[in-house]
Structure 1
Amino acid sequence: MSTYPPRECGIATFTQDLFRSSQKIKKSGLKYKVAAFNLSPLDTFTYPREVKWEIDQNNKQDYINLARTMNKDKSIVGIILQHEYGIFGGSEGENILYFLRECKKPILVTLHTTLPAPSPKMKEVTIEIIKLASNIVVLTKRSKEIITKVYPKSRSKISVIPHGIHPIPFALQDESKDKLELSNHIVLSTFGLLSRGKGIEYAIKALLPIIKVYPSLIYLILGETHPVIRRNEGEKYRLELARLITKMNLKKHVRFYDQYLSLPDLQEFLQATDIYISTSINPNQAVSGTLSYALGTGRAVISTEFAQAKEIVIPTIGRIVPIKDSAAMTLAIMDLLSDTQRLHKMDRNAYEMTRPMQWNNVALEYTHLLIRTVVPPLNIRHLRSMTDEMGLFQFALYSLPNKDLGYTLDDNARALIVCSWLIEHTGKSNVQSLLTTYLAFIKKCQKEDGSFINYIGYGDKAPTYQNKQEDLEETQSRAMWALSEVINNHVLPPRQKKEAQKIFLKGLTNVLHLTHLRAQAHAIKSFTLVMNQFPSHKAIIKKCIKKYADSLLSSLKEHSIKDWIWFESSLKYNNALLSESLLLAGESMKNT
């Protein structure tokens, strides 16, 4: 879902490139169709055959109807939505929410704009997009940092997949310069749909000192005016640039190519380029497809310091200059032109660095993420069949419970955690009865002194002999973790949370002196969840977190050698728990 060619739009081009590359991945078994957004009912296009649906971006009912159509279509397993605030109708593109709210299919959303300080309305819209999306993609690491900081609930959903580039053989400039009648010229270029945000005037103002030293220099401004800009103000910006060029007596050194270039034509111009100039004046621009394409062609670049450029343009492939600083751009261009051998090496570095960004690799990353996104609906039928009015059975014979072996607190605690998570994070209220059963089981397993037994038989529903034969430290701490998940759940009924609190407080003294590593780790997980829920016990809980974290660190130091950095002399079971608990302890103690 996106804008799509022949509509002239950077997102449209991106989507077509992603579509074509994704279609070539035969082993995925996926086929793709496109839902294209139109600016208005009058702005329609003769789309290629992959476009199955068209949407008037300002018509809310179009979004709802499309969602309902997709819900009914069993062949549609998932959706990739390219998001940019300006391509959807309504304030800050809020119309897309009508689709997202109505659609029942898994949705992967690519956020092309990521602002560190969004307007209140933009933030409101984005919060809901993130909530309704199954997965989020951003195009740079910096974008991920911004989104996770501004929208913390995106952390579990977000992935970074770079802007794609087209596969093209590396070539020196001479052949393309001959074809374009640019031989004997030093060629600078900028391409893209023209608009005021491009900042091209600052590049033009940088040229005068340079042509005195390099009189053969020519600057190519490639691309027509953005259709939306042209509709609103015509060619006003281009004419302003033309007057500036005349005023500075640069007509021989600056050329406009006022057309929407085909990919082969664009690649020809880029291959003829000595230095590509990326001129954005928006410091928060998340990504520039034009910059990616220039680097992918194997060309050194000079870019203003917007988000993507600061991440990708390193000294071995180009230079970064302050925004709107023509003097700095002059110095950067002069620097690169002063050493031809170094400049050619930068070209080669840029080419080699960008090979992972080729569209076939990008499409493969999207495919893998989409496959992970398109998971079947959660089925708890087996969990229900393994549970009776007492609790969750310990073992099964194929799909049937093995009742002879009874129940364990360990398994019921795990099931309680799962149900709590499902209710809080997915809104699945149909597991509420299961949660009630598992919580009651934990209560039944608690003895008068607050400690827990683990094994209960099926026939008499009484404790078994195994409780006296085994060390139950981990059982104690796992039960406390499960109770903490319920206590910390923001959507459960107060009566259930209070019940969990009573059981927890009664059992607290029994988990303050644990000796086994995994029991200590479970206790840390439990305590970090509820430390602030019990003000009168906070000091002792905090002290215990530190004691157990120190114990884990001591074990890590004791068993670690040069080629083995771990808590024990071998990998055993539930290994990730040990590292996770230390991270949680550090975060809770502000000791990261």
Structure 2
Amino acid sequence: MVLKIAFASTYPPTHCGVGEYTRMLVVALKSLYPKINAFILSDKRGGEERFDELAQVHVYPSFEHEEPSYRELLNNLSRIDGVDVLHIQHEYGIFGKHNGIVEAVEEARRERLVKKVVITMHTVDHPYTLRSGTLEFQRQLNKFDMVIVHSPLQEFELIHQGIDPSKIIRIPHGTLLNPYLWMPRFKLAKSLGIKEEQLLGFIIGVPGFIRQDKGLDLLIKAIKPLITDSDYTVIVAGEVRDPDLKKEVEDMVKNGPNLLLIEKYLTNEEILKLVALVDAVILPYRDRPASYSVSGILHLSMGGLKPIIGTRAPRLIELYQHAPRMTVPVRNPNELTKKIKWLRQNYDVAIAYMSQMYSYAVRTEWHRVARRHLAVYAYLLGAAKAELVSD
């Protein structure tokens, strides 16, 4: 059977992790089941209507971030003669905290533009949240045919908030297994704009947006004792979202020759190359209060089969589940410094200890995650599951 799906989501070239997620999911889905006819109803920041050669999908700009009306999204659904499944990749920074997308879904049903509607909640808020409107939105999730979440924290939080458990399914975030591990270090460095002679001793990578919730202030305190030691090099790489943090990092770059800053938005390919280049990845996150999500950077990192040190933040729950000894308390730079030094001295032990995490990376490879999505679509449509999810 031909399966017609529209994904409402940000999409590259918009600088957004959810957009990268959507693209990887679509690529894996079409690889598994070529009969999928997929469309992207994207945000307008990504530019004009286009065809994405990588995913082999048409991209229709359909909404502005957090706008209250989704009339253009509905118009584009009508333009493609409706779909079997509308799959919304939800993030509050994309669709806002109002009812706009819920009302659009109800209108799409009335106009018979969709048969089933799935929503992936990339962030779920707890009742202690400081953000107004999110809990009201989450109370309406029963209006969707299926709600996908990525972590047990998200799953049980929604159940506690009264969402029908039969409508919630947990599907882990997908993982890209790193294809650059074979590449020589000098080639990886050159591709990232780094001179090979800048790489001294034990190399630590810190990929992702440079902002407060990524814990860069904690990292700055933790690495101060390290960057004066020629046995360490720390590479901070990502787009700056916090100007104050940028100044702190730049000051440390000037005063410590072993701290490198790559100030740009990193594509998935560039993140994978950075992970292949370094000896270890550090994720010093601290989450927004009462907000549950998972880290896409963690999944890109663990696909590189390198040791990962992270904080015990809800966003890194998978690291805590599969490699708890590689985690440190949030907001504790001294413990992070100690853990980095321990890793440097016990690298082979850490690699062996991380084996369960690497196994998890294989289990969550994008094609496996896509297969679970296909099973959801088949269940909702009453299709023969064997046809959609067969090898």
Could you say which TM-score interval applies, normalised by the shorter chain? 0.7 to 0.9
Q: How does 1:260-271 map to 2 (within 5 A)?
A: 260-271=265-276
Provide closer, same or farther for how the CA distance between residues 70 and 292 of structure 1 changes in structure 2, counting only shifts above 3 A.
same
Counterpart selection for 1:161 from 147, 171, 174:
171
Contact 1:184 1:216 in 2 (8 A): yes
**TM-score of the two chains, using structure 1 as the length reference:** 0.55
Instruction: Answer whether contact 1:204 1:245 (CA < 8 A) is retained.
Output: no
**Residue matched to 1:498:** none
Q: Is the 8 A contact 1:68 1:103 kept in 2?
A: no
C-alpha contact 2:91 2:123 (8 A) present in aligned 1: yes
Cα deviations across residues 90-113 of structure 1 (Å, max 9, x unaligned)?
A: xx2543223122121211100000
Q: Does 1:38 align with 2:47?
A: no
Q: Is the 8 A contact 1:64 1:98 kept in 2?
A: no
Aligned mates of 2:357, 2:317 — CA distance in 1: 15
Q: Distance in 1 between matches of 2:59 and 2:360?
A: 37
| Cα shift readout 1:55-95 (whole Å, capped 9, x = no counterpart) | 2325544x134336536855511111100011125xx2543
Q: Deviations over 1:396-455 (max 9, x none)?
A: xxxxxxxxxxxxxxxxxxxxxxxxxxxxxxxxxxxxxxxxxxxxxxxxxxxxxxxxxxxx
Moved more, 342-351 or 324-333: 342-351
Distance 1:292 1:93, change over 3 A: farther
Partner of 1:321: 328
Q: Which residue of 1 aligns with 2:146?
A: 135
Counterpart of 1:102, as a letter, is E
Instruction: Name the counterpart of 2:374.
Output: 367
Partner-residue secondary structure (3-state), 1:207: helix
Residue in structure 2 matched with residue 70 of structure 1 by the alignment: 77
- The residue that corresponds to 2:280 in the other structure is 275
Deviation track 1:262-313 (CA, whole Å, cap 9, x = no partner) reads 3333222101222211122116341010011111111111111111423433
Name whichever structure is richer in helix by fraction.
1
Secondary structure of the residue aligned to 1:188 is strand
Cα distance in 2, alignment partners of residues 141 and 147 from structure 1: 10
How far, CA to CA, are the matches of 2:205 and 2:50 in structure 1? 30
Report the Cα offset of residue 184 of structure 1: 4.5
* Gap change, CA 1:198 and 1:183, over 3 Å in 2: closer
Match of 1:238 among 246, 251, 270: 246
Deviation at 1:138, TM superposition (A): 0.4
Contact 2:217 / 2:245 at 8 angstroms: preserved in 1?
no
Of residues 121, 125, 136 in structure 1, which corresponds to 2:133?
121
Name the CA shift for 1:208/1:153 in 2 (closer, same or farther; >3 Å): closer
Q: Does 1:218 align with 2:238?
A: no
- CA–CA separation in structure 1 for the residues paired with 2:99 and 2:201: 48
Q: How far apart, in 2, do the equivalents of 1:115 and 1:60 lie?
A: 20
Aligned residue in 2 for 1:340: 347
Give the C-alpha shift of residue 19 in structure 1: 1.2
- CA RMSD after TM alignment: 2.7
Change (3 A) 1:244 1:301: same
Over residues 339-396 of structure 1, what are the superposed CA-to-partner deviations in whole Å (9 max), with x where a residue is unaligned?
13213324555333310111111111111111212349xxxxxxxxxxxxxxxxxxxx
Q: Residues 483-522 of structure 1: CA distance to partner in whole angstroms, max 9, x if unpaired?
A: xxxxxxxxxxxxxxxxxxxxxxxxxxxxxxxxxxxxxxxx
Deviation at 1:34, TM superposition (A): 0.4
**Stretch moving more, 69-78 or 275-284:** 69-78
Return the alpha-carbon distance in structure 2 between the equivalents of residues 59 and 365 of structure 1.
31
Q: Which has the higher contact order (CA 8 A, sep 6+)?
A: 2
SS state at 2:83 partner? coil
Determine the C-alpha separation between the residues in 2 that align with 1:71 and 1:155: 32
Contact 1:36-1:51 at 8 Å conserved across structures: no
2:104 is the alignment partner of 1:99: yes
What is the distance in 2 between the residues matched to 1:220 and 1:262? 16
Unaligned 5+ runs, structure 1: 230-234, 377-592
**Residue 3 of structure 1 contacts residue 9 of structure 1 at CA under 8 Å; is this kept in 2?**
yes
Residues 244 and 255 (structure 1), Cα distance of their counterparts in 2 relative to 1, 3 Å cut? closer
Q: Which residue among 34, 49, 56 is the counterpart of 2:63?
A: 56
CA distance in 2, matches of 1:143, 1:314: 15
* Count of aligned positions: 355
From 131, 149, 152, give the equivalent of 2:160.
Answer: 149
Determine helix, strand or coil for the equivalent of 2:125. Answer: coil
Aligned AA (2:251)? R
Aligned-pair CA distance for 1:5: 0.3
Q: What secondary structure is seen at the aligned counterpart in 1 of 2:303? A: helix
| Aligned amino acid, residue 87 of structure 2 | I
> CA–CA distance in 1 between the matches of 2:312 and 2:154?
14
Residue 352 (str. 1) matches residue 359 (str. 2) = yes
Moved more, 235-244 or 154-163: 235-244
Q: Secondary structure at the match of 1:136?
A: strand
* Structure 2 stretches lacking a partner, 5+ long: 1-7, 190-195, 384-391
CA distance in 1 between counterparts of 2:332 and 2:175 reads 28
Q: What is the 5 A alignment of 1:275-424?
A: 275-282=280-287, 284-314=291-321, 316=323, 319-346=326-353, 348-375=355-382
The Cα offsets for residues 155-183 of structure 1, whole Å up to 9 and x where unpaired, read as: 110011111111335848x9336641265
Residues 111, 136 of structure 1: 8 Å contact kept: yes
Match of 1:13 among 9, 12, 20: 20
Shift of 1:323: 1.6
Residue 53 (structure 1) shift: 2.2
Query: Would the alpha carbon gap of residues 55 and 75 (structure 1) be closer, same or farther in structure 2, given more than 3 Å must change?
Result: closer
1:538 maps to which residue?
A: none
TM-score (norm 2): 0.82
Question: Aligned to 1:206, which of 208, 222, 230?
Answer: 222
Confirm or deny that 1:196 pairs with 2:227: no
Q: Read off the aligned partner of 2:184 and give its amino acid letter.
A: E
Q: Is the 8 A contact 2:294 2:317 kept in 1?
A: no
